[in-house]
Structure 1
Amino acid sequence: MFQHKLSSTLIALCFTMMHAPTATAQSDTLEISVQDARQIALRALDVDEFELARKLAMGLLLADATDSHAYTILMQAHAQLGHPKLAKAAARLAYQYSDGKAESFSAALNAGSLAFHNQKYNAAQFWLRRAANHEPNEQSAKMLAADYAKVRAANPLSFNISVSASPSDNLNNGANLSENLVNGTPQLGYINASTRALSGIVATTDLQLRYRLNQNANSRTDARARVYVNTVSLSSEARALMALDPFSRQLKNSDLGSTYADIGIDHHFALGTAGAVATLSAKLGNTWSGQNKNYTFGQVGFSPSFRLAPKTRLSLGTLLEKRWSDIAPKNDLTRSQVSATLHHRIDNGNHLSFGISLQDISSDGRNISNKSAVANINYSFAKPVASIKVSTGLSLGYTHYEGFSIFGPVEGGRSDMSVTGNVTMVFTKLDVAGFVPSVQVQTGRKTSNISRFNSNEMSVSLSIQSKF
């Protein structure tokens, strides 16, 4: 029990709300129960008596400084009274003192809503991810996903980070065997250990930032940046293999790492046909191989997409890229690519896609110019199986180097064929702040008329991704 002085008008409001026989009035002082005070404060919020709600919340906190419900009322009252900093502090304390999944979920959701209405979109996303730790049921999870999508759409800044670790039996894309064959004919020498398949662990970090510069009903323009870092840890078996070969380079972990960085701009806009959209993009970037700068590049692209049917879409793409080598000017190259992908949503919600891409690389550098084609098919299941979302993919590729040379031109050039398959499993119930783990099992095989480029790979990749 606690006492609080109220105006006669507000006393009338209080008596209107109270039904408990324990409530008594003496002069201008009203003594009410904690439960009644909460109900009156909530009613005061409903009828825009925000100062009364604030005072009642403060009184509740005099009785119990850990009352999460009182902090929630205080947050709402301060928000309506134009005190954003006090409302933010109350929201934080409401979450801090919340008890149980439902109460913690509600407190985090309220804090996120407050941040959203104050246009603090990053803070809103932070609180919604906190709410994800306390989802009481599936309905709440769906509601939270919808709220997060709303905040993300309003937020001009988009931030995404993905990390993964993958044990691999061929992290350097090395040859299967030491035999040096060209078109089945043995050649002088052998394939040394450092260019053969080396095992170990590959770790990647992919950071992407996007900022919306402008948006209207028909278009949006974004500035973007990306940094992708690939690091490796050679196994003891790989180190031993190189140590036993007197002619092999003794590679270190840093020799096999790589870094990619770019900045760019994307312009998305609607086309004249219903359901048709397109993206114009341009970017500049650098790559590093090992500890050395590899090349600088510039790229432009155009990607239209057309709705062919309610559940079917065709996406096209074309890009042109120029690379300036930091190793040797003759290794500068021009890369052009066209692609097409057909997406179809099946009646049961599963997703099926077919894609093909054609690429041409031209350069004055030795053994760089080539033409390639890749076809792929992907299938993803809409409904989780035992709380695991499953998707699969298969890719077939062909690359031809017309003027390939090894101590002289190779008859017929170099031709590589590859096949890669993968299965990805996302563990939707292992949720931490809206992030879930996924495992991808991938196997691939590449065959070539030059044995140096025959390779097999098997890898299992563990990564963390956002479920929103």
Structure 2
Amino acid sequence: MVWHKLRVLGATVALGSLLALGGGAVAQDVLTVEEMRIAAGQSLKAGKSAQAEALAQALLGRDRNDLTALLIRGRALRDLGRLTEARQMMRRAWRLSNNVADKYAAALITAQVLSSQGKRTRAQLWLRRAAQHAPNDALRARAERDFGYVKQQNPWKTDLTFTFAPNSNINNGSARDRSRLNYAISEILFGEPIEYDLTAEAQAIAGIEIGGAVRSRYRFHQTPDTAHDAKFALSYRTFSITDDLGDSDVSGSDFAFGSASLGYGYRRFVLDKKGEFAADVEAGQSWYGGNRYASFLRTQVQQSLYLSPRQQLRFGGEAERQWGQATSDRDLIGLSASITQAFASGNSGFAGLYLTSTQSPDANIEYSEVRLRTGLALRKPVMGAQIQFGLGASWREYDVSRDSRDGRQDKRIFADVTATFKDIDYYGFNPALTLSASRTNSNVGLYDVNRVGLSIGIKSAF
């Protein structure tokens, strides 16, 4: 009986199509299953969603596991606005998909249905699935293009980072094994500077950093030129010690650090959209070693400006108030300026200048700092990896130090190289390795610090 209805419906649709085209030929009285699939697909392509849905439903009456019919009906129902039914079709279609072409089609249509339902974050996940199962580069490019469109429409934006990083100095310990005693105490007790041996805990400890962070924003209001965001951030990192510390009871969790914050962000295009003004306010709490460390309120403003299609200038400022629980209160003010340049070779360069000044009731933690940073990103892969280099230096001045009558001066140099392996792709993510090294020379031996680290992470490919 079902197959008879399918034959009649097929004949009716075929005859209707011929008459609509003005043909004088007489339609055949029977369509094969394959011909009906073709007719349903052509109806869908021509924008005749109701007709495509009817044909697909007839095919499913014959075989409820007809994957092609499920895909066609799911897409037709989506076009007709019957989104709940469309989602049901696509759940079945995904379960029945057993090759990359079927999985790609099912994932792509599922993403379209979810996007139409306003579930754009889930739609982005399904578009990553589509990209993963794309049968060729052209279809993958379509999934990536659709991902970019949905991402722009999505009021939610979430960035996840994970860290697994062997590090030669997880505690920011001294590179020396001796330092000078507090100069005031030393002069009172001994009449001259006295050196002492640093404990194992005060020296650099090697270990592995393990951590993660999530930053999310919800764009609750937007116009063609402005945007208003509610923001949330959460981060945590802990350590596993690899050094042999003898009888010491120090553990990696003693250096664990976490923070949580809520904030508001404002964006506005300016100068005929050649630039963007951004302002952010963020309040939060940090923890160190499992205990409350400090509460903070931070404000940042930044202006970007495209001087040319290849050159972008950024400058901004920040102010932060810190209320310490396990540290002193502190106020920080910072200014920054940077430029990014794309070269004719396809490489791109970066240079930035950062100025920071702090004030505190504890004069020993007040400092002024100048920091320079440069970077270079290569267009051509090196052994299959996209390479980015960074290099910088900073000068930090403490007017007052309990360890030196002349205050404290720290000079730091640092460098890093990041390799992103584009040839290794899983659901639109590439593995990345960052090798970093830094050296701080101070007039106070306790603050001489050397560090080498290797960080393993992932980056989005699109």
Give the TM-score of the pair, scaled to structure 1: 0.89
* Residue in structure 2 matching 1:228, options 231, 235, 239: 235
Amino acid at match of 2:386: K
Query: Do the aligned partners of 1:311 and 1:344 also contact (CA within 8 Å) in 2?
Result: yes
Tell me if 1:191 matches 2:198.
yes
Q: Sequence identity of aligned pairs in percent?
A: 25
1:147 aligned residue: 146
Deviation at 1:187, TM superposition (A): 2.8
State which drifts further: 382-391 or 415-424: 382-391
2:186 corresponds to: none
User: Hey, what does 2:218 align to over in structure 1?
Assistant: 211
After the TM superposition, which parts of structure 1 deviate over 6 Å for at least 4 consecutive aligned residues? 14-17
Contact 2:226 2:266 in 1 (8 A): yes
Q: Which amino acid aligns with 2:412?
A: S
Q: 1:412 aligns with which of 396, 406, 409?
A: 406
The answer to whether 1:6 aligns with 2:22 is no
Aligned to 1:279: 278
The 1:142/1:81 distance shift into structure 2, 3 A limit, reads closer
Which letter maps to 1:191?
L
Residue 14 of structure 1, CA deviation:
6.2
- 3-state SS in 2 of match to 1:197: coil
With over 3 angstroms needed to count, the CA separation of the structure-2 counterparts of 1:172 and 1:100, relative to structure 1, is same
- Distance of aligned partners of 1:135 and 1:420 in 2 relative to their CA distance in 1, 3 Å threshold: farther
- Distance in 2, matches of 1:278 and 1:320, equals 17
Q: 1:112·1:124 contact (CA, 8 Å) conserved in 2? A: yes
* Structure 2 gaps, min length 5: 21-26, 183-191
Q: Could you list the per-position Cα deviations for residues 264-290 of structure 1 after superposition, in whole angstroms to 9, with x for gaps in the alignment?
A: 111111234651221111111111111
Q: Deviations over 1:377-429 (max 9, x none)?
A: 011123433431111101111111111113xxx13211111111111111122
Partner of 2:428: 434
* Bigger mean CA deviation after superposition, 364-373 or 92-101: 92-101
Distance 1:8 1:429, change over 3 A: closer
Residues 138, 10 of structure 1: CA spacing in aligned structure 2 closer, same or farther, 3 A cutoff? closer
In 2, distance between residues paired with 1:16 and 1:195? 89
Alignment deviations for residues 42-95 of structure 1 (CA, whole Å, 9 cap, x no partner): 233345554443333234335544432111111122223432111112123223
2-side partners of 1:53 and 1:436: how far apart?
Answer: 39
CA contact (8 A) 1:285 1:296 kept: yes
1:451 aligns with 2:445: yes
> Which residue matches 2:166?
167
The one-character-per-residue Cα deviations of 1:209-243 (angstroms, maximum 9, x if unpaired) are 100021112111111111111111112x3433xx2
Equivalent of 2:385 in 385, 388, 396: 388
What SS is found at the alignment partner of 2:133?
coil
Structure 1's 278 and 61: CA in aligned 2 closer, same or farther, altered over 3 A?
Answer: same
Q: How many pairs align?
A: 445
**Relative to 1, partners in 2 of residues 1:133 and 1:11: Cα closer, same or farther, differing over 3 Å?**
closer
C-alpha offsets along residues 150-181 of structure 1, whole Å, 9 cap, x if unaligned?
A: 11110001111110100111111111221214
Secondary structure at the residue paired with 2:118? coil
Aligned mates of 1:80, 1:105 — CA distance in 2: 19
Q: CA 1:140 to 1:79, structure 2 compared with 1: closer, same or farther past 3 Å? A: closer
Aligned to 2:292: 293
Pairwise CA RMSD of aligned residues?
2.5
SS at match of 1:296: strand
**Equivalent residue for 2:251?**
252
1:376 is aligned with what amino acid? R
Residue deviations 1:445-466 (CA, integer Å, cap 9, x gap):
1111111111211111111222
What is the CA–CA distance in structure 2 between the aligned matches of 1:162 and 1:189, rounded to whole Å? Answer: 41
Task: Name the SS for the 2:201 alignment partner.
Answer: helix
Q: Which amino acid aligns with 1:355?
A: G
Secondary structure of the structure 1 residue equivalent to 2:209: strand
State how far apart, in whole Å, the 1-side matches of 2:436 and 2:75 are. 51
> 1:351: how far off?
1.5
Q: Greater CA deviation, 45-54 or 290-299? A: 45-54
The superposition leaves residues 99-123 of structure 1 with CA deviations (integer Å, 9 ceiling, x where unpaired) of: 4323322321122122223322122
Q: How do 1:334-413 and structure 2 match up within 5 A? A: 334-406=331-403, 410-413=404-407
Whichever residue aligns with residue 10 of structure 1, its letter is V
Deviation (angstroms), 1:128 = 0.5
Rate the CA distance shift 1:97–1:186 in 2: closer, same or farther, 3 A.
farther
Would the alpha carbon gap of residues 250 and 187 (structure 1) be closer, same or farther in structure 2, given more than 3 Å must change? farther
CA–CA separation in structure 2 for the residues paired with 1:51 and 1:85 = 16
> 1:290-342, CA deviations, whole angstroms, 9 ceiling, x for partnerless residues?
111111111112111122222111100101111111136xx211100001011
SS in 1 for 2:379: coil
2:207 corresponds in structure 1 to 200
Structure 1: unaligned runs, 5 residues or longer: 18-22, 26-30, 244-248
Contact 2:374 2:391 in 1 (8 A): yes
TM-score (norm 2): 0.90
Contact 2:285–2:295 (8 Å) recurs in 1: yes
State the distance in 2 between where 1:383 and 1:94 align.
Answer: 40
Compared CA separation, residues 93 and 340, structure 1 to 2 (3 A)? same
Q: Which of the residues 222, 225, 245 maps onto 1:239?
A: 245
Distance, in Å, in 2 between the alignment partners of 1:8 and 1:234 is: 75
- Give distance in 1, aligned partners of 2:345 and 2:434: 24
Give yes or no for contact 1:182–1:449 (8 Å, CA) kept in 2: no
